[in-house]
Amino acid sequence: MLTPTQLSVIQQTIPVLQDHGEDLTRYFYQRMFRHNPEVRGFFNPAHQQSGQQQRALAGAICAYAQHINDPSALTGAVELIAQKHVSLGIQPEHYPIVGENLLASIREVLGLAETDPILDAWAAAYGALADLFIQRETAIYRQQREHAGWNGFRNFVVSHREAASDNIVSLYLKPGDGKPLPAHKAGQYVTLRVALPGGETIMRNYSLSNEPGAACYRISVKREGGEGTPAGICSHHLHERLQAGDKVELSPPCGDFTLAASSTRPLVLIAGGVGITPLLSMLHEALAASPGRPVWLIQGALNGRVHPFADEVNALQRRHPGLRVHVRYSEPLPEDRLKAVHDGEGLIDEALLDELVGGEKAEYYFCGPTPMLRHLCQLLASRGVPSEDVHYEFFGPAESLAA
């Protein structure tokens, strides 16, 4: 419990955090990796290089300071981060490492004495936040043991692989021990841990793209960057080297981007590029659970060559005539226009939602690039869609969608 004085000090630091938050978090990561290199493997180097991780942490620290009197306002953010921590295997003993480096970074970046009240206040604030995360993560680990039957990483084998588009490959993963898999919740992800040829072991999160209850877990991976670049080191390995029969490790399914239980209200799924992966699993679940439920899938892609899962979605539409699908290309190729394989061009806009959904009181789930998420949040807000009916998933560290 923070004292009134400590709460006041935290609130007084908000302007400094707003002005210098990214400088602080950039220094923090550099310091932590230098002093505690054992934690480096928990972080995606591409997100470090792009600055996405630093921006996300800076935003989270500011949000915590702004809501220090009522942390319950951050329940959604805490849940998202706790799920990600569990997927990577974060344990209570990792929190002192982060706390020590964060407080040292505050002192060194701001030039504070070790006895400065700011450090005392932030030490108390970090301790309270760490306790909150540890309690929630302990509960998630317990739930995993009860439902999935394991914690940490379990051996899996690549059953087979297939192309979902020119730039996305699907990998079907079955348990190495041959035991049945628990059904995941549509929209969840797993953490894949794989050894690279040079001996380095890396971890990445991938959404499960197939229907819950299948005999295998399916992940569908977009090729990112090129060989040897931080952005593409894992995706290149999965595309070029991982073959049927190869072994990997998976953590149990995690994530809270899941369909509302037992809802029969109209459902609108909006996907951009590889953002289709969690939504495709949701589509399978929704159609199986409520065959009469009105469902729209709006899928965006650059063009037909990188339009993933076209055949699978077409097959679902043939089996479920009530499923309405709209495909939109932002940069169609000449052959796309000749084949007429898409329904429109450009961005998803007000006119399209008016045409497809009209005034229906629907639930919206969407996933894709951050600019698309920001655009859709603003568009749905302007249409008066309640925030509780708007659900979206980030790939990578969550950042603010404020304009």
Which of the residues are catalytic? 95, 137
From residue 326, give the alpha-carbon distance in Å to each of 32, 48, 263, 320, 389: 47, 36, 23, 15, 21
Which residues face 171 on adjacent strands?
Answer: 161, 219
CA-nearest of 383, 354, 348, 343 to 367 is 348
Compute the distance between CA of residue 380 and CA of residue 390 in angstroms, rounded to an integer. 8
**Tokens in use for 242?**
């991982």
Residue 177's φ and ψ, nearest 5 degrees, are -90, 0
Q: Is the dihedral of CA 121, 123, 124, 129 positive or negative?
A: positive
* Spatial contact of 326 and 352, defined as CB atoms under 8 Å apart: yes
Residue 105's φ and ψ, nearest 5 degrees, are -65, -40
Q: Is the dihedral of CA 224, 204, 396, 344 positive or negative?
A: positive
Q: Is the dihedral of CA 229, 235, 237, 240 positive or negative?
A: negative
Contacts of 109 (CB under 8 A, 6+ apart): 20, 23, 24, 27
Residue 386, amino acid: P
* Spatial contact of 6 and 124, defined as CB atoms under 8 Å apart: yes
* Spatial contact of 176 and 156, defined as CB atoms under 8 Å apart: yes
